[in-house]
């Protein structure tokens, strides 16, 4: 569970990580497990981040979480929120990825970061008060050093977690969460994927291949 290269200088790893690491070492069977704990940061170095998609914590069902926000292992059926994300993606640009594994987005500079990186099986939110949220803010601030970012903030939790961080040069798309309870309150029809790509083009940057 070593801090990921490129991000290991963040203040979080000096001030908060030692205590969280000690708690994880004493906690049985948490998800997504040590090998995937920092998967989002490992997949997307700070100088490659173009888009931030912020989630809450990993899926609490064993075998589902793969360390990327909203993403699941390739052979797992789509969770309801991800099913709605794919429905909006299909309406917006025509095609979703072939599976629920969003690693293809991460490789293109989409940082799929949860505000809490660990969860006990079947107990969503249990580790949310451990101090993980400081890592999310540190990571975003570091990514901002390398250029403007597009923030895709779904729901009140993500919007509160990122409060005060976006700058005038950043793009912010803040809508309802894609969960079945709130998707029809502003998520559906928001067309976030094409809006981000249009913005990237104005920046002279390559659009995200969202179907990858």
Q: In what order do the strands lie in the sheet with 150-154?
A: 110-114, 51-55, 150-154, 171-175
Each residue of 132-146: pLDDT tens digit?
999 999 999 999 999
Mean pLDDT of 92-98: 91
How far apart (Å, rounded) are the C-alpha atoms in residues 110 and 67?
A: 14
Q: Report the Cα–Cα distance between both ends of the chain, in Å, rounded.
A: 29
**Cα–Cα distance measured from residue 128 to residue 50, given in angstroms and rounded to the nearest whole number:** 26
Decide if pLDDT at 95 tops 90: no
Whether the CB-CB separation of 158 and 112 falls below 8 Å is answered with: no
Average pLDDT value for residue range 165-186: 96
- Express each pLDDT in 31-72 by its tens digit: 999 999 999 999 999 999 999 999 999 999 999 999 999 999
The tokens describing 130, both together, are: 């451990």
Report how far residue 73's alpha carbon sits from residue 89's, in angstroms, rounded to the nearest whole number.
19
The share of the chain scoring above pLDDT 70, in percent, equals 100
Predicted confidence (pLDDT) at residue 180 exceeds the cutoff of 90: yes
Confidence class of residue 120 from pLDDT cuts 50, 70 and 90? very high
Q: Report pLDDT for 76.
A: 94
> Under a CB-based contact definition with an 8 Å cutoff, are residues 105 and 212 in contact?
yes
pLDDT 10s digits, 147-160: 999 999 999 999 99
Helices and strands per DSSP (H, E), number in the chain:
8, 4
The CA-atom distances, in angstroms, between 42 and each of 48, 124, 138 are 11, 23, 15
Sign of CA dihedral 153, 52, 161, 113: positive
* Measured distance CA(169)–CA(25) in Å, rounded: 41
Q: Does 1 score more than 90 pLDDT?
A: no
Q: Which of 57, 92, 133, 138 is catalytic?
A: 57
Residue 138 among the catalytic residues: no
């Amino acid at each position: 569970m070593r801090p990921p290269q490129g991000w290991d200088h963040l203040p979080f790893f000096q001030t908060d990580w030692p205590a969280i690491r000690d708690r994880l070492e004493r906690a049985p069977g948490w998800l997504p497990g040590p090998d995937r704990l920092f998967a989002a940061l490992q997949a997307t170095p700070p100088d490659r981040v173009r888009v931030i998609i912020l989630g809450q914590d990993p899926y609490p069902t064993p075998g589902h979480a793969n360390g990327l926000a909203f993403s699941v292992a390739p052979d797992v059926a789509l969770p309801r929120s991800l099913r709605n994300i794919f429905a909006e993606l299909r309406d917006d640009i025509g095609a979703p990825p072939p599976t629920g594994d969003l690693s293809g987005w991460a490789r293109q500079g989409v940082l799929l970061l949860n505000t809490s990186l660990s969860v006990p099986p079947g107990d969503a939110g249990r580790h949310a008060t451990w101090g993980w949220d400081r890592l999310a803010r540190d990571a975003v601030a570091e990514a901002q050093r390398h250029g403007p970012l597009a923030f895709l903030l779904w729901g009140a939790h993500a919007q509160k977690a990122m409060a005060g961080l976006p700058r005038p040069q950043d793009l912010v798309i803040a809508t309802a969460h894609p969960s079945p309870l709130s998707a029809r309150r502003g998520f559906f029809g928001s067309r976030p994927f094409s809006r981000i790509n249009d913005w990237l083009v104005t920046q002279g940057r390559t659009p995200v291949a969202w179907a990858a």
